[in-house]
Chain A
């Protein structure tokens, strides 16, 4: 480290201490996400009102335990300078969203995080629904759980994991299943637990503008339209809580494909699924750890992988996926 420079640890500590100095009325909640505890501390009631409600189903009594903690604040920055920040301090991960001027810092040795935004008015409404994704990702990784860019839906406790890049059709298929009454864990992010289950993280779902009209029954749960891709965000935790499941037993992985007509499921090598889910997860969630990649790979090896080609009628997707679930061998016959 340069004599005149600021290490990432020092940089982190300046923000961590700045919270203590500037928080007007700090308030905190303890969450349990996929069984991993995570404490959120907001600097004031307004930030708490923005961040906490969407985790309402994840809040547990705070017994004061030591666990991963994220401090959420806005306003005055520190005196740290951008020109003297060094990257060799690997314990602190830095992620910056220039579109809204938001900074995330995570000290992986102490499991402490800082979420900071210069002007809270720049925080778009849609981000409220997938809040602090990077911190959830880092905290889960420390707890031996992998957050993935994937959807998970199911029936009767049996789940499917839908993997693929953005636009591959996993979110629309998951929302079609939601509209058809399926169990829902997630359409964009979910967690893979080493016990072989997919786990819920967020209580929301999304649809592209072209799909919104096809699922009019979901309209009452629409809460926002994302500015960058015009996707409509739906509050499933509030409007369809019975369908929002904490976990599903993973039975198969599905790589969605779009075609002129629906095709029966086709068994494919798990490598195809790995090449679908690993890059998109790496691209969405910063600083992926090797252990998370290994857990994703172990999951893909543990169940069959299929490509399912959906036709133009997205409402038919649940029929195809139900047929797939029904044809899978049961636990007893495997």
Chain B
């Protein structure tokens, strides 16, 4: 089966840093961050270097094609890359070798003006209307 789906990884909100065979990725837009072990790191790097899903699959035969496709779709679902069309339908659990952390997501996504607890005071102090 062919997967000519185009992969786009350029996203200023996604910062990835490799440490040997492992990678930490931060999605500044969602507030989630991720730790990738060796295999997902390798596939993530290929996604950044390849144009299509077929190109990625040509590089990775382990663990199997279905698992690679699931990982690529999961990356897309997390907003870490974009696909021209889905390669896997339905919900996908976090793949093996990937840890997702969302403990600071609410904090990073909060609107500093409108989402805070005002304790009834409100922000900012709205000036009374000026009488004409």
Contacts and interface: CB of A to CB of B under 8 A. Distances in A.
Interface of A: 77-82, 85, 87, 94-96, 98, 101, 103, 118, 269-271, 274-275, 278-279, 282-283, 286, 288, 290, 293-294, 297, 300-301
Given A98-B119, A283-B107, A301 B127 contact: no
B112 A275 contact: no
B35 A80 contact: no
B19 A300 contact: yes
B112 A297 contact: no
Interface stretch (B2-10, B20-28, B45-53): B20-28
User: Main secondary structure on chain B at its contact with chain A?
Assistant: loop
B117 A279 contact: no
Contact of B19 (A81, A274, A283, A294): A274
Contacts of A279: 33, 101, 103-104
Lowest 3 CB-CB distances: which A-B pairs, in order? A297-B17, A79-B127, A270-B19
Contact of B124 (A82, A297, A300): A82
B64 interface: no
20 contacts: A77-B127, A78-B127, A79-B126, A79-B127, A82-B123, A82-B126, A85-B113, A98-B119, A103-B124, A270-B19, A271-B20, A271-B35, A274-B24, A275-B33, A279-B103, A282-B26, A283-B108, A290-B12, A290-B15, A300-B19
B116 A293 contact: no
B17 A274 contact: yes
Interface centre among B12, B15, B24, B124 (most CB of A within 10 A): B124
Nearest to B111: A87
B114 A82 contact: yes
A268 B112 CA distance: 37
Contacts of B111: 87
Given A271-B22, A274-B19, A275-B35, A282 B123 contact: no
B97 to A, nearest CB: 12
B121 interface: yes
B123 A98 contact: yes
A297 B121 CA distance: 40
Nearest to B117: A98
Contacts of B35: 271, 275
Contact of B123 (A78, A103, A275, A290): A103
B58 to A, nearest CB: 28
B125 A118 contact: yes
A293 B26 contact: yes
B94 to A, nearest CB: 15
A85 B114 CA distance: 9
A278 B24 contact: yes
